[in-house]
Copies of this chain bind each other. A is one copy, B any other.
Amino acid sequence: MPAVINPVASFSPLYAQIKALILARLQASEWLPGEAIPSEMELAARYLVSQGTVRKAIDELASESLLVRKQGKGTFVATHQREDWHYRFLRLAPDVGQQLLLKNHFLLCEIAKPNPRISQLLQLSAEEGLFRIERVQSFSGKPIVFEEIWLPVTRFEGLTLDALKSWPGLTYAFYESKYATHMVRAEEQIKATSLEASIACHLDLAIGSSVLSVERVAFTYGDQPVEVRRALYDTTEHHYENKLN
C-alpha cells in the first residue's frame, strides 16, 4: 500500500510527489549545489516509500540535470562550479580545431534604463530595477562575442563591475556562489543581423558585417526567469552547434 503523501488533491503518481518534495528542498537551498543529498534508502525511509519509488523520482531529476548520480558515492546537487560543466550552455565551437576556451573581459555594470521588453521576459514590473552588464569574450586574442546581460537588482543586490572582474570562473558559478542562484535551463532565440557601429569596434569587424544574434533567457528552479542575455557572435571562424533529437 503506497504511503499517501498528499491525500487531498493530485492523482499524480507517488514518485512524482517525491520528486516535488526533493525539488522543493533544492529550491529552498536546503541542499546546496555540489553537496550530496541523502541516500536513496534514507529518503525512502523518510518518505515511507520503497527505494524504487525514490529512485524513479531521482532518475527524472537527474535526466533534467538538477541532480547528478555517482555510483558508489551518492547523488549530488548539480553545480556550475565544476570543470565538466563549463560548457553546459555554450554552443559556440570553432569550425576547425579543439573546443575553445574563451577569455572574459567585462566592460561595464550599471543600472539599466527601463526596458519593458527585458522586464517582461524576466516577469518583473516596469518599476523593478535592472542591472545591465557588458562584456567581450575572446579566443586567442580575437574578440568573438559581445554580450549584454540583464539581471534583476532585487536578486543581485550590490553587484559591481569589480566583483565581476575579480571572479575567476564562469558567470553562472558566480551567481551560484554569491547570490545562491543556480541556473537550470535556458531558452535561446537566434537571428542573423547586421553589426551596428556602436558594437563593431568591440568585435573588430566592419560595420554591417553579418553576425549571429543570440538572445537567451535563463531560468532557476521552478522555471523562474532570472537572467536575459543578448550576445553577438562573430561566426566567420566559429559556429553555433545544435543537436536535434
Binding site for B on A (CB under 8 A): 63-65, 88-89, 91, 185-194, 210-213, 216, 233, 235, 239-245
What distance in Å separates the Cβ of A236 from its nearest Cβ neighbour in chain B?
A: 8
Check if B210 sits within 8 Å of A89, measured CB to CB: no
Copies of this subunit: 2
Given A194-B210, A210-B194, A210-B210, check contact A241 B189 (CB 8 Å): yes
Check if B190 sits within 8 Å of A212, measured CB to CB: yes
**Residues of B contacting A233 in the complex (Cβ-Cβ under 8 angstroms):** 192
A191, A192, A211 — most chain B CB neighbours (10 Å): A192
Given A193-B210, A210-B194, A210-B210, check contact A188 B244 (CB 8 Å): yes
Q: How far is the CA of A63 from the CA of B216 in the complex (A)?
A: 26
What distance in Å separates the Cβ of A162 from its nearest Cβ neighbour in chain B?
A: 29
Check if B244 sits within 8 Å of A89, measured CB to CB: yes
Q: How far is the CA of A99 from the CA of B189 in the complex (A)?
A: 14
Check if B185 sits within 8 Å of A243, measured CB to CB: yes
Check if A239 sits within 8 Å of B191, measured CB to CB: yes
**Residues of B contacting A241 in the complex (Cβ-Cβ under 8 angstroms):** 187-190
Check if B235 sits within 8 Å of A188, measured CB to CB: no
- Among the listed B187, B192, B212, B244, which residue makes an inter-chain contact with A244, where contact means beta carbons less than 8 Å apart? B187
